[in-house]
Amino acid sequence: MSRKKVIVISGANGEVGHGLIKALSAKPDALPIVVLDLRGLDEHMKPLVDSTIVGDILDQNLLDNLTSEYEIDTIYHLAALLSTHSEFRPEAAHRVNVQGTINMLQVAIEQARWRAKPVKFIFPSSVAVYGMPNLAIKHTIPPVHEDQYTNPITMYGCNKLYCEHLGRYYNSYYRQLAAKPDENGVDFRCVRFPGIISATTMPSGGTSDFAPEMIHAAAKGEPYACFVRPDTTIPFMVMPDAIRALLELADAPREVLSRHVYNVAGFSLSAEQIAQRVMHAFPSAQITYDPTPGRQNIVDSWPRDMNDGIARADWGWMPEYDIDRAFNEYLVPTITAQYADTSE
Ligand code: AKB
């Protein structure tokens, strides 16, 4: 009996999940998509997927059923608690972000054995894996490389950094002492993202959320009190570039990849520069600053910018949206149209 060959997306009902489902289902050679999410999948997304499994990646029975029912070609493992949420529930974050990732890696290993072919495992990591020692260093050093300053100060950052290592371990060293190590296993590929800004969805529970919150509030005509200082600067990327990074890394031939974890970057902006762009697009926007010390400290620990030169060299990564294009051609028109639609 042959099982249906599919792509699995965990945490699919988040904002990256929605973008990924749209992009994957539009591909001419698209495999059926099976999504897995605690909250199920929003109704309008359901026509784009083959099947929706409502449940927890910590539920071993559910994962066993997934393994027995499908032949899994690629896993996009997006399920995670973001950085602010994770600080409120660090142990729960560890369970979801780390144990959840191990569970999904094991699904991949098991599948690879059955089909005698590696299973691609695409993992989004984050700028949160970095921990800058202080603001003076943050403001003076050039964009950080993958292996510099990886001393995160958040549970989420620690979880993501450890999962990057777990992926590398499962890819190359799993059962390394077995008499006959597996020939096929996990083909682990990871993109380290900056803060992501989507014009169509709002993040929840992140610490880079001040940027999307500011833009969406202005478009809705609501006042916004920014939870970081005006000078606070981190790298960002718009959602279409983020989705493209995941797909292009997944499609890259294995031989061109010199590592498992790649930085990708879009543009770097301070909260004040974002506010200026927002004021230009929505002149009646009301933006004030009310920094919360804890969240400020977290964002201060993230670098001003990330160096994505290795991704560019290895698999041809190139962001399509610089600051001007991001605001003028994507964020402002799409957000404006979205809220105009909902107010009709
Ligand atoms: C968060 O703020 O937690 C995320 C991230 C930077 O990974 N957006």
Kindly tell me if the per-residue pLDDT of 117 is higher than 90.
yes
Residue 340, CA distances (Å) to 12, 199, 221, 222, 274 in order: 27, 13, 11, 14, 22
Q: Which of 110-114, 182-186, 307-311 has the highest mean pLDDT?
A: 307-311
Pocket test for ligand 1, best of 126, 154, 210, 232 (most atoms within 8 A of CB): 126
Task: Based on the residue annotation, tell me whether 169 is a catalytic residue of this protein.
Answer: no
What superfamily would CATH give domain 4-196+237-263? NAD(P)-binding Rossmann-like Domain (3.40.50.720)
Select the more confidently predicted residue: 337 or 343.
Answer: 337
CA angle 12/39/49 to nearest 5° reads: 40
pLDDT attached to residue 180: 87
pLDDT attached to residue 160: 99
Residue pLDDT, tens place only, 135-174? 999 999 999 999 999 999 999 999 999 999 999 999 999 9
The mean-pLDDT minimum among 95-109, 313-327, 330-344 falls in: 330-344
pLDDT attached to residue 341: 66
What value does the mean pLDDT take over residues 249-269? 98
Q: Which residues line ligand 1 (CB under 6 A)?
A: 82-83, 126-128, 156, 195, 203, 206-208
pLDDT attached to residue 203: 87
Specify the ligand 1 atom closest to the Cα of 154. 3
Domain at 199-235+268-304+322-343: CATH architecture: Alpha-Beta Complex (3.90)
Q: Find out whether 179 and 271 touch, Cβ atoms under 8 Å.
A: no
Strand, helix or coil for residue 52? strand
4-196+237-263 and 199-235+268-304+322-343 agree in CATH topology: no
Residue pLDDT, tens place only, 29-70? 989 999 999 999 999 999 999 999 999 999 999 999 999 999
Ligand 1 center from residue 70 Cα (angstroms): 31
Ligand 1 center from residue 103 Cα (angstroms): 22
Specify the ligand 1 atom closest to the Cα of 234. 6
What are the DSSP calls for 284-331, one per residue?
Answer: T--EEE---HHHHHHHHTS-S-B--HHHHHHH----S--HHHIIIIII
Kindly tell me if the per-residue pLDDT of 204 is higher than 60.
yes
Ligand 1 center from residue 273 Cα (angstroms): 19
pLDDT attached to residue 153: 98
Task: Sketch the domain layout of the chain as residue ranges.
Answer: 4-196+237-263, 199-235+268-304+322-343
* C-alpha distance across the termini of the chain, in Å: 52
Q: Find out whether 211 and 217 touch, Cβ atoms under 8 Å.
A: no
Residue 182: pLDDT band with limits 50, 70, 90? confident
Kindly tell me if the per-residue pLDDT of 275 is higher than 60.
yes
pLDDT attached to residue 181: 80
Ligand 1 center from residue 5 Cα (angstroms): 32
Residue 218: pLDDT band with limits 50, 70, 90? very high
Ligand 1 center from residue 111 Cα (angstroms): 30
The average confidence (pLDDT) of the chain is 96
- Put simply, whether the predicted model's pTM sits higher than 0.85 gets the answer yes
Pocket test for ligand 1, best of 153, 164, 196 (most atoms within 8 A of CB): 196
Q: Name the catalytic one among 70, 130, 149, 156.
A: 156
Residue 267 CB partners (closer than 8 Å, separation 6+): 235, 236, 237, 319, 321, 322, 323, 326
Residue 343: pLDDT band with limits 50, 70, 90? low
Share of the chain above pLDDT 70, in %: 99
pLDDT attached to residue 342: 62
pLDDT attached to residue 106: 97
Residue pLDDT, tens place only, 118-137? 999 999 999 999 999 999 99
pLDDT attached to residue 99: 98
Report residue 188 as tokens: 């682990």
